[in-house]
């Protein structure tokens, strides 16, 4: 099992590297950067966490990306999200509209209280546009408050210029019962 986990990490790292190389080789974008231009801020790429649904047993959290109107979106992303593992158990994730529109695969690895979210495609260099990227699914261990937040290190976008002006949203607190 540990061998498979190491294999998955190496595969994800290789795919990120290939995506970054492809970004340098192909500067064109197949996404229409003006499609949602009127509704977007100009102050930086924004990542935020939104509570989609919560019950006594389950919490669904959306990872949402907003692209500034003055910059193209990233082609590859690696985002670290910390969570309260005493109150939450990570169950899985599903792709949402912005990841699907760019034909990106979403891979989430649980590292015990921290999720590594990777968005990439082995066969395209389409840039991500604004919208929900993935829905994270958690089982609630107890009806106590739980916090999710972006890890201290800045998310990694490719190409590198997509990292300019990244803004991380505030922590998300899931209230107790």
| Mean pLDDT over the full length of the chain | 80
pLDDT tens for residues 91-105? 999 999 999 999 999
Query: What is the domain extent for residue 130?
Result: 2-28+44-174
Residue 115, domain member (yes or no) = yes
Phi, psi of 74 (to 5 degrees): -75, 160
From CA 133, how far away is CA 147, in angstroms rounded?
20
Judged by phi (left if over 0) then psi (alpha if -120 to 50, else beta), residue 165 lies in: left
Closest of 43, 73, 84, 77 to residue 63, by C-alpha: 77
pLDDT tens for residues 153-170? 776 899 988 888 888 999
What is residue 56's three-state secondary structure? coil
pLDDT tens for residues 59-94? 999 999 999 888 889 999 999 999 999 999 999 999
Residue 36, domain member (yes or no) = no
Residues 6+ apart with CB under 8 A from 139: 57, 58, 88, 89, 91
Contact 105, 120 (CB under 8 A): yes
| Between 25 and 82, residue with greater pLDDT | 82
Read off the pLDDT of each residue in 136-163 and give the average, rounded to a whole number. 89
The CATH number linked to 141 is: 2.60.40.680
Secondary structure (DSSP) of 61-118: EEEEEE--TTSPPPSEEEEEEEE-TTTEEEEEEEE-HHHHHTT-EEEEEE-SSEEEEE
Contact 48, 130 (CB under 8 A): no
Residue 16, domain member (yes or no) = yes
Report the domain count for the chain.
1
Contact 131, 96 (CB under 8 A): yes
- Give the DSSP H/E element, type plus range, for residue 10: helix 2-25
Q: Is the pLDDT of residue 130 over 90?
A: yes
Residue 37, domain member (yes or no) = no
């Amino acid at each position: 099992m540990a061998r498979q986990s190491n294999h998955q990490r190496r595969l994800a790292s290789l795919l990120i590297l290939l995506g970054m190389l492809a970004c340098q080789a192909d500067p064109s974008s197949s996404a229409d950067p003006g499609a949602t231009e009127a509704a977007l801020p100009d102050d930086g790429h924004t990542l935020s966490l939104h509570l989609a649904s919560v019950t006594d047993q389950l919490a669904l959290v959306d990872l949402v990306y907003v692209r500034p109107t003055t910059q193209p979106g990233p082609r590859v992303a690696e985002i670290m999200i910390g969570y309260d593992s005493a109150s939450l158990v990570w169950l899985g994730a599903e792709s949402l509209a912005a990841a699907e529109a760019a034909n990106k695969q979403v891979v989430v690895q649980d590292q015990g209280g921290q999720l590594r979210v990777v968005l990439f495609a082995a066969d395209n260099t389409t840039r991500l546009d604004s919208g929900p990227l993935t829905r994270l699914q958690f089982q609630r261990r107890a009806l106590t408050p739980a916090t999710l937040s972006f890890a201290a290190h800045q998310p990694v976008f490719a190409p590198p210029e997509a990292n300019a002006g990244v803004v991380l949203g505030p922590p998300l607190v899931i209230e107790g019962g």
